[in-house]
Amino acid sequence: MKRAIYPGTFDPITLGHTDIIKRACKIFDEIIVAVAINREKKPMFDFEKRIELVKKATKEFKKVKVVGFEGLLVDLSDKLEANTIIRGLRAVSDFEYELQMGYANASLKKDLDTIYLMPSLNYAFISSSIVRAILTHDGDVGHLVPSAILNDLKA
């Protein structure tokens, strides 16, 4: 069983995230989407809501499981017996942060690998922060997020 963890804050989940999940499904037998509590980031959507939105957005994906987590990703990887982390890379600007995080995780657990997947060019500009900014001003995010969660976001 090839199992991978796709961690993130998912505040909220976007079409960029689901594009990465679809790509990961082609490589792995099971993808565990792990929603971080991430109190430092002061998320717009609370922890339970972010988990609920990820579950709704990935309902059709047979290989996907969704969990919430607090604490270190390496501890979650021990608990879930998954030594591969998936992260999305959109642009060079993502690279420095991702490199640092990948090395930090590898320094804590040497057999942990991080695999970076690129979303389709159509989704390369999408980020949760862009979605939040548009939502704050009551703008339309229908082209940026999975349709299954659109009503929740409007509410």
DSSP string covering 23-69, please?
Answer: HHHHH-SEEEEEEE--GGG--SS-HHHHHHHHHHHTTT-TTEEEEEE
Rounded to a whole number of angstroms, the minimum distance from the CB of residue 7 to ligand PNS is 4
Q: Which residues are catalytic?
A: 17, 41, 90, 128
Query: Which amino acid makes up residue 133?
Result: A
CA dist 115 to 11, 34, 47, 131, 154, Å? 22, 15, 25, 25, 33
Residues that bind ligand PNS (CB under 6 A): 7-9, 36, 38, 72-73, 101, 104-105
Which phi-psi region, left, alpha or beta, contains residue 132 (left: φ > 0; alpha: ψ -120 to 50)? alpha
Q: How far is the CB of 154 from ligand PNS (least distance, A)?
A: 23
| Minimal distance, residue 56 CB to ligand PNS, in Å | 18
SS3 151: helix
